[in-house]
Amino acid sequence: MGKEVYLFAANILVWVGLGCYVAFLATSQKRLERRLNRLEILNDDN
């Protein structure tokens, strides 16, 4: 296997890792947004 194959495989792995990281950030963002909405609702009740 040539160096190009390893370079291509590394490029794929980097993009997959970046995609997974972005998906993780998106789920964390949604979780924090739901938590903030609950806190705002609780604060409005008082």
User: What pLDDT does residue 45 have?
Assistant: 74
Higher pLDDT, 43 or 7: 7
State both tokens at 32.
Answer: 């924090």
Domain ranges of the chain: 21-45
State the pTM of this model: 0.74
Higher pLDDT, 42 or 1: 42
User: What pLDDT does residue 31 have?
Assistant: 98
Q: How many helices (H) and strands (E) does the chain have?
A: 1, 0
User: What pLDDT does residue 21 have?
Assistant: 99
* Helix, strand, coil percentages, rounded to 5, for the chain: 95, 0, 5
**Which amino acid is located at 31 in the chain?**
R
pLDDT in tens, 15-46: 999 999 999 999 999 999 999 999 998 888 76
Output the CA torsion sign for 38, 41, 45, 46. Answer: positive
